Structure formats: structure tokens, C-alpha cells
């Protein structure tokens, strides 16, 4: 969940650090623990890229557990290059890539890639494929946060408003913008947006318009006042 929040560029709740520390410091001998720890490492790597949280004194324990798990991952690599089964190997490799370990000499990335390719050539499930593909592209699930998903694919080129929003690094807030159609609210369209905290209602409408054509509107300025006289295509 915390990796998903980071990829969406949403702030973590106050309990996030405590939750992640519990996962990273776990010594439970269950096969799935390594998978959870790999997701936790990717979540921290993602958030570190955005906020540099590991440089803050209050996160010393998180930094220690994060680095300890990364070290443990590399020490548990098997002779065939794997870290267990296909799923676990893919997740741990993604975790190591997300934390900048792909060029380190104390583990064998090439052996891991060879193992993954062999596994993909054998019968496997779709989850195995989806977890392995990022590794084969030298990526991880933490890289989703670097993808601009705000652009409207129906428009040619980049929308100027969307580009400006993507470059904005100040504080943002989440806004729910709804259109109610019909006297009895027969149809309701709702979109959730993250916009600068000082955005006006008009600017929210402009942002919604770039996201979805349903929110296209027409306006006219009369005597220094902006009037919206049509909403929707």
C-alpha cells in the first residue's frame, strides 16, 4: 500500500514508518516475508527519491533496517542466481534495482537475469511474467512514480496546463470535482485531482478539462468577471 501511495505521489500516513520498520526488521521464517520486505524496500526507495527521508535523524532506524535488508538480500543469493522462486527472485531483484544496487559487485545480477530468462522459458503464471518484465528493463515497480500519467492520450502532444502541473513541486491538495446532470441528478461524473493548495475553482476546472473531455467548459469574461456558460462537450 505504501509503494502505491508513493507512486501516486500521495503522502504517507503517520504510521507508515512504524509499519515498514516492522516488516523490514522481521525475522519470521515464512517464505512470503522476503516478498513483503522487497515491497517495503521499493516503497522506501521510491519515497527516498522524492523526499530524501533517510537523511533525516528521525528516520535513522528506518535507514538502518532498509540497509540491513538490502545487505541480507545480496547475501542470500543462491548459486543459480535466484533468491528462491520466480516471484521472490523478481521482487528482490526489483528491490535491489530500486535502491541503486544494480552495479554493485557483491551480488550477481547477470546470474539472476539468466535464471529469470530460464524460468520464463518454462511454464509459469502471469504474475511471474508481470514481476519479471520490469527487471528485464532494468526497472522496478518504484519507477511508476516517474511516469507522467496526467496527459490526455486523445490530445496531440503535451497539454501545456498538464505540463505545468507535472513540474509543480509545491504543496498540493486532493480535490473532488463532480458534475451533476439533470434535475434529479440523473448522471453524476466525479474526478479526483491533486492541485496546488492555492488553486481557484476556475483553475480546478481547467485541470479537470485536461484530464477528461467530459469536463470541457466554455467561459466568457464580462466586465472583469468570468462566467461559465457551458460544461461538457
Binding-site residue positions: 35, 85, 227-228
Cα 34 from Cα 54, distance rounded (Å): 22
CB-based contact 88:50 (threshold 8 Å): no
Sign of the alpha-carbon dihedral angle for 59, 69, 8, 94: positive
Q: How far apart are CA 43 and CA 6, in angstroms?
A: 7
β 225-231/217-222 pair status: antiparallel
Residue closest to 77 by CA, chosen among 59, 92, 97:
92
**Distance of alpha carbon 198 from alpha carbon 193, whole angstroms:** 14
Annotated binding residues for cyanocob(III)alamin, as ranges? 35, 85, 227-228
Task: Taking the CA atoms of 42, 45, 50 and 53 in sequence, report the sign of the dihedral they define.
Answer: positive
User: Which residues face 176 on adjacent strands?
Assistant: 192
Whole-angstrom Cα distance, residue 114 to residue 132?
Answer: 12
Amino acid at each position: 500500500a505504501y509503494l502505491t501511495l508513493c507512486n501516486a505521489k500521495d503522502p504517507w500516513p503517520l504510521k507508515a514508518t512504524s509499519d515498514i520498520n516492522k516488516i523490514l526488521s522481521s525475522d519470521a521464517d515464512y517464505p512470503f516475508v522476503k516478498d513483503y520486505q522487497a515491497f517495503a524496500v521499493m516503497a522506501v526507495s521510491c519515497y527516498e527519491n522524492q523526499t530524501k527521508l533517510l537523511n533525516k535523524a528521525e528516520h535513522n532506524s528506518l535507514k538502518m533496517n532498509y540497509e540491513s535488508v538490502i545487505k541480507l538480500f545480496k547475501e542470500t543469493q543462491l548459486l543459480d542466481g535466484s533468491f528462491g522462486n520466480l516471484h521472490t527472485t523478481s521482487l528482490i531483484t526489483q528491490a535491489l534495482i530500486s535502491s541503486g544496487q544494480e552495479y554493485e559487485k557483491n551480488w550477481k545480477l547477470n546470474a539472476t537475469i539468466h535464471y529469470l530468462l530460464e524460468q520464463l522459458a518454462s511454464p509459469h503464471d502471469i504474475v511471474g511474467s508481470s514481476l519479471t518484465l520490469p527487471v528485464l528493463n532494468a526497472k522496478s515497480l518504484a519507477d511508476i512514480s516517474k511516469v507522467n500519467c496526467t496527459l490526455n492520450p486523445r490530445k496531440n502532444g503535451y497539454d501545456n496546463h498538464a505540463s505545468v502541473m507535472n513540474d509543480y513541486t509545491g504543496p498540493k491538495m486532493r480535490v473532488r470535482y463532480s458534475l451533476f446532470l439533470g434535475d434529479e441528478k440523473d448522471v453524476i461524473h466525479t474526478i479526483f485531482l491533486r492541485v496546488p493548495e492555492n488553486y481557484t475553482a476556475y483553475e480546478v476546472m481547467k485541470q479537470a478539462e485536461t484530464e477528461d473531455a467530459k469536463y470541457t467548459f466554455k467561459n466568457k469574461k464580462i466586465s472583469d468577471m468570468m462566467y461559465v456558460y457551458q460544461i461538457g462537450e
